[in-house]
């Protein structure tokens, strides 16, 4: 960093880079980091200790959590942990164990209370109280249920208490049947069904978070409920999707960006040695269509509609998603034009002067508001609610029917222009989506544009990231892929290898002598411009149980939308390069072996056809010798029997008794089959536990007598064996008539199909 002081680096642990809550937290952190001049590394995992046994598609999502292990004291100065979301499926005991790895680092927890840790969270009481109060007092609901979360989670505990206390303060006794426990997600189907089945006539439901509410929507729709009419629903968090579902979801607004903003400030103060205490941020209830018609939000705000505070409150409702985004100048222009529009409306109709000139003045103000890009950034549902509120208030102040009709015409014109602007924005969005889809296709094509498994191939992984807005990226690999199993703590290697770099849009391969990177340098390698502040995301490269390395890159808006897709594609490329490397190494070794074989042609030719473990023919040798037998059989007009044999329990024997016993079993099978073929037939080992035989056969039973004889040999051995297991096989046979023009490969396939039928219906022997 030249002569300047080293810039502070803060690690941020979140649950899923594409999750709405993670995005909100990160947006607040990123804006504050820019102001405070600190580096940010976001480490997006998933949910720790989550049981995904009923969902095979998620069985390897635990690999994302491996990135948490890179947040060590050698890499970051402090960490912010979104523990409320990361730990929403686990217990406090497990979270304590998980957080222990960060005990030497200043740490702030978000939305999670744990002894010994400083936390920042939302008020889990007042926003919920306001929502329930509205349901009880304005819509007359008395039969209200709740879908909560695990009571190991502090948010779930406090939100349940707010629910119970508010009901009881309104004279509604709490009924345990009206509360069910979900898993903080839309997949809480059993909880939804329990609540609805046990409480006929349910009038309203509060959900512990919005994602749970979205799942309840699905269940209610399947049962034919009209949400907002037959039953009311509201959630918590007020994520982006809450305004896009149908009907729009009422929710408790808890702006995750504020958590990120305040959490980062607290973390920086901790690093500086200042005293920091836990903090609670306020929330507010937002009414939407899922609670139906009724009194509007201005009553909750206190009725101050058209003063500076009221207009600002309206603006915040409509554009709150972008308060923490990098659009300050844009938002300032929109806010000014919004204020001008509202003030013009109120001024004109407050004076009752609805002349054509004033009508045009309103239309001009509206045009400026829309031209400034309001529709692109607005929560359309809240925008329409705002104008509906203004219309009702102005209408109530007019006594003359003619004036009311003109007011209605004016607002009809406003709605029409908003609808046209929305259609235009949708067209623009659709066009941008088409461009993005094309960019994705090009990325998928380019990321695998390599033919060799060398270090140069890694550059193709970084060659087309413009569509994500990424200008800087770094691909690290391990010296060899690392196996990481579920529920194992991942300990990163002390050194990684930097294979490829994207710096300000230019891709380069890293020379082998410069690749080795110590763990404490992965966020501060020699290619990173230390004079510039950065915001990076660190994501794993993996395939099933195997970890290949990490991708470190700019944290952009595109990452929030397509980060997991990027990981999947990059991981596939890393795996492919690893496989190509192994293949090239094997090819090289094979070429070296073939060179030696040429010098010892006769002896080595025999060896090349023999199986090293059993001494019988291998696949190559079997095919060569079998073709000779087939030719002889046709010349002698003799039928040939092709037999396919598969060992039943090799994996069990290997796992329970060791590979030496597995090798013994393979040798036993080869010995028995060779003995049965000693009078003119041949046997070969054509796979790990697969064997094939071919012999002249003159009986009419299509091989049944031979198969019985083979099975009997194994039964005899197992009865007299002192081994702790049985060696058993399944076999299938196909009879090749002399006149059949059928290839050996086809005959083996047909025999294998009969073996498959045997496996389906023959009772399998298992280890003792």
Q: Does 552 share its domain with 634?
A: no
- If you search the block for the tokens 């396939």, which residue do you land on? 749
Residue 572 pLDDT more than 80?
yes
**Has residue 97 been placed in a domain?**
yes
Question: Average pLDDT, stretch 617-630?
Answer: 92
Residue 448 pLDDT more than 60?
yes
Neighbours of 188 (CB within 10 A): 25
Q: Does 744 share its domain with 636?
A: yes
* Residue 592 burial (10 A CB sphere; 0-12, 13-18, 19+): exposed
Residues 6+ apart with CB under 8 A from 630: 640, 694, 736, 744
Residue 599 is predicted with a pLDDT of 66
**Has residue 363 been placed in a domain?**
yes
Confidence at 351, pLDDT banded by 50, 70, 90 = low
Higher per-residue confidence, 428 vs 564: 564
**Has residue 114 been placed in a domain?**
yes
Q: Does 491 share its domain with 626?
A: no
> How far apart (Å, rounded) are the C-alpha atoms in residues 640 and 23?
68
Residue 295 pLDDT more than 60?
no
Q: Does 613 share its domain with 498?
A: no
Higher per-residue confidence, 370 vs 720: 720
* Average pLDDT of the residues of the chain: 87
Q: Which CATH number is 619's domain given? A: 3.30.70.270
Buried-exposed string 475-497: b where 16+ CB fall within 10 A, e elsewhere: bbbbeebbebeeeeebebeeebb
**Has residue 366 been placed in a domain?**
yes
Give yes or no for a contact between 155 and 259, defined as CB atoms under 8 angstroms apart: no
Q: Does 625 share its domain with 756?
A: yes
Q: Does 324 share its domain with 392?
A: yes
> How far apart (Å, rounded) are the C-alpha atoms in residues 302 and 365?
27
The closest alpha carbon to 663, from 675, 647, 645, 686, belongs to: 647
Residue 727 is predicted with a pLDDT of 94
Q: Does 613 share its domain with 748?
A: yes
Residue 113 pLDDT more than 80?
yes
Residue 354 is predicted with a pLDDT of 62
Residue 641 is predicted with a pLDDT of 94
Q: How far is CA 517 from CA 531, 537, 687, in A?
A: 20, 18, 41
Pick from 524, 540, 561: which residue ends a domain?
A: 561
Q: Using the 8-state DSSP alphabet, how is residue 617 labeled? A: B
> How far apart (Å, rounded) are the C-alpha atoms in residues 186 and 209?
10
Residue 587 pLDDT more than 70?
yes
Residues 6+ apart with CB under 8 A from 8: 38, 39, 77, 78, 268, 271
Residue 423 is predicted with a pLDDT of 85
Higher per-residue confidence, 674 vs 406: 674
Residue 220 is predicted with a pLDDT of 97
**Has residue 190 been placed in a domain?**
no
Question: Average pLDDT, stretch 134-160?
Answer: 92
C-alpha torsion angle, residues 11, 12, 13, 16 (rounded to 10): -130
Residue 271 pLDDT more than 70?
yes
| Torsion-angle region of 290 (φ positive above 0: left; ψ -120 to 50: alpha; else: beta) | alpha
* Residue 123 burial (10 A CB sphere; 0-12, 13-18, 19+): middle
Confidence at 575, pLDDT banded by 50, 70, 90 = very high
Question: Of 283-297, 422-436, 684-698, which range is least confident?
Answer: 283-297
Residue 136 pLDDT more than 50?
yes
> How far apart (Å, rounded) are the C-alpha atoms in residues 549 and 574?
8
Q: What tokens does 448 get? A: 């695998």
The closest alpha carbon to 491, from 76, 72, 74, 87, belongs to: 72
Q: What tokens does 239 get? A: 């994520």
pLDDT tens figures, 454-500: 889 999 999 889 889 999 999 999 999 999 998 888 999 999 999 99
Residue 119 is predicted with a pLDDT of 95
Number of domains in the chain: 3
Pick from 428, 459, 482: which residue ends a domain?
A: 428
Q: Does 748 share its domain with 615?
A: yes
Question: What is the Cα gyration radius of the chain?
Answer: 35
Strands 729-736 and 640-647: antiparallel
**Has residue 590 been placed in a domain?**
no
Pick from 561, 577, 601: which residue ends a domain?
A: 561
Tell me which residue range forms the domain holding 665.
609-761
Question: Of 57-71, 302-316, 640-654, 701-715, which range is least confident?
Answer: 302-316
Strands 516-518 and 506-509: unpaired
pLDDT tens figures, 422-446: 888 888 777 777 777 777 777 777 7
pLDDT tens figures, 225-243: 999 999 999 999 888 788 7
Q: How many residues does the chain have?
A: 768
Around 427, how many Cα atoms within 13 Å sit in the side-chain half-sphere?
6
**Has residue 199 been placed in a domain?**
no
Buried-exposed string 712-740: b where 16+ CB fall within 10 A, e elsewhere: ebbeebeeeeebebbbbbbbbbbbbeeee
Question: Average pLDDT, stretch 691-715?
Answer: 93
Q: Does 529 share its domain with 403?
A: no
Residue 167 pLDDT more than 80?
yes
pLDDT tens figures, 307-335: 676 777 778 777 766 655 555 667 788 88
pLDDT tens figures, 373-425: 788 878 787 788 888 888 888 887 777 788 888 888 888 888 888 888 888 88
Q: Does 364 share its domain with 489?
A: no
**Has residue 152 been placed in a domain?**
no
Q: Does 617 share its domain with 755?
A: yes
Residue 339 is predicted with a pLDDT of 85
Q: Does 393 share its domain with 495?
A: no
């Amino acid at each position: 960093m030249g002569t300047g002081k080293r810039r502070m680096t803060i690690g941020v642990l979140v649950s899923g880079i594409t999750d709405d809550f993670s995005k909100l937290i990160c947006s607040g952190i990123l804006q504050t980091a820019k102001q405070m001049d600190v580096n940010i590394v976001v480490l997006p995992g998933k949910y720790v200790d989550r049981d995904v046994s009923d969902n095979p598609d998620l069985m390897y999502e635990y690999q994302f959590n491996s990135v948490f292990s890179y947040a060590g004291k050698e890499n970051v100065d402090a960490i912010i942990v979104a523990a409320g979301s990361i730990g929403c499926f686990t217990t406090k005991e497990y979270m304590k164990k998980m957080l222990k790895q960060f005990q030497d680092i200043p740490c702030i927890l978000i939305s999670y209370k744990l002894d010994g840790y400083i936390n920042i969270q939302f008020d889990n009481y007042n926003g919920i109280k306001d929502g329930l109060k509205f349901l009880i007092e304005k819509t007359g609901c008395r039969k209200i249920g709740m879908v909560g979360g695990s009571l190991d989670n502090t948010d779930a505990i406090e939100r349940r208490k707010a629910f119970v206390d508010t009901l009881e303060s309104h004279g509604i006794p709490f009924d345990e049947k009206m509360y069910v426990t979900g898993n903080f997600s839309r997949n809480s189907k059993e909880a939804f069904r329990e609540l609805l089945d046990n409480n006929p006539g349910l009038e309203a439901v509060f959900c512990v978070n919005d994602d749970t509410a979205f799942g309840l929507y699905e269940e209610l729709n399947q049962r034919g409920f009209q949400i907002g009419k037959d039953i009311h629903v509201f959630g918590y968090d007020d994520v982006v999707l809450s305004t896009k579902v149908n009907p729009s979801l009422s929710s408790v607004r808890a702006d995750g960006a504020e958590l990120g903003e305040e959490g980062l400030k607290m973390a920086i103060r901790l690093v500086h040695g200042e005293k920091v205490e836990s903090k609670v941020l306020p929330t507010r209830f937002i009414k939407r269509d899922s609670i139906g018609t009724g009194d509007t939000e201005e009553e909750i705000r206190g009725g101050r509609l058209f003063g500076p505070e009221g207009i600002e409150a309206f603006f915040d409702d409509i554009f709150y998603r972008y308060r923490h985004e990098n659009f300050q100048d844009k938002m300032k222009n929109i806010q000014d034009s919004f204020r001008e529009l509202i003030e013009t409306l109120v001024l004109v109709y407050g004076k009752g002067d609805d002349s054509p000139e004033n009508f045009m003045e309103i239309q001009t103000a509206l045009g400026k508001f829309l031209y400034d890009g309001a529709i692109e950034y607005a929560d359309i549902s809240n925008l329409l609610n705002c104008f509906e509120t203004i219309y009702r208030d102005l209408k109530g102040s007019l006594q003359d029917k003619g004036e009311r009709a003109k007011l209605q015409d004016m607002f009809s014109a406003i709605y029409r222009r908003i609808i046209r602007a929305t259609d235009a924005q949708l067209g623009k969005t659709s066009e941008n989506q088409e461009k993005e889809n094309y960019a994705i296709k090009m990325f998928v094509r380019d990321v695998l544009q390599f033919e060799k498994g060398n270090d140069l191939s890694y550059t193709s992984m970084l060659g087309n990231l413009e569509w994500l807005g990424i200008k800087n990226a770094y691909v690290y690999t391990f010296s060899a892929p690392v196996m990481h199993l579920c529920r194992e703590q991942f300990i990163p290697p002390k050194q990684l290898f930097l294979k490829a770099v994207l710096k300000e849009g230019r891709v380069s391969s890293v020379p082998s002598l410069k690749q080795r990177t110590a763990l404490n340098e992965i966020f501060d390698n020699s290619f990173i411009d230390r004079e510039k502040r950065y915001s990076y995301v660190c994501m794993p490269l993996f395939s099933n149980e195997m970890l290949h390395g990490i991708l470190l890159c700019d944290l952009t808006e595109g990452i929030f939308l397509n980060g997991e897709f990027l990981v999947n594609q990059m991981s596939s490329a890393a795996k492919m390069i690893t496989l190509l490397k192994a293949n090239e190494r094997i090819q090289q070794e094979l070429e070296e072996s073939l060179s030696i074989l040429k010098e010892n042609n006769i002896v080595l030719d025999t060896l090349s056809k023999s199986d090293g473990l059993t001494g019988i023919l291998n696949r190559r040798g079997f095919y060569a010798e079998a073709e000779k037998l087939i030719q002889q059989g046709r010349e002698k007009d003799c039928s040939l029997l092709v037999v396919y044999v598969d060992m039943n329990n090799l994996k069990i024997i290997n796992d329970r008794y060791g590979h030496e016993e597995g090798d013994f079993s393979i040798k036993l099978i080869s010995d028995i089959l060779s003995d049965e073929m000693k009078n003119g037939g041949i046997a070969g080992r054509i796979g790990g536990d697969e064997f094939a035989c071919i012999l002249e056969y003159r009986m009419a039973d299509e091989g049944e007598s031979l198969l019985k004889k083979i099975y009997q040999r194994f039964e005899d051995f197992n009865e007299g064996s002192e081994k702790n297991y049985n060696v058993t096989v399944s076999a299938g046979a196909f009879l090749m008539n002399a006149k059949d023009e059928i290839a050996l490969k086809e005959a083996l396939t047909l025999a294998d199909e009969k073996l498959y039928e045997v496996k389906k219906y023959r009772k399998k022997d298992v280890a003792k």
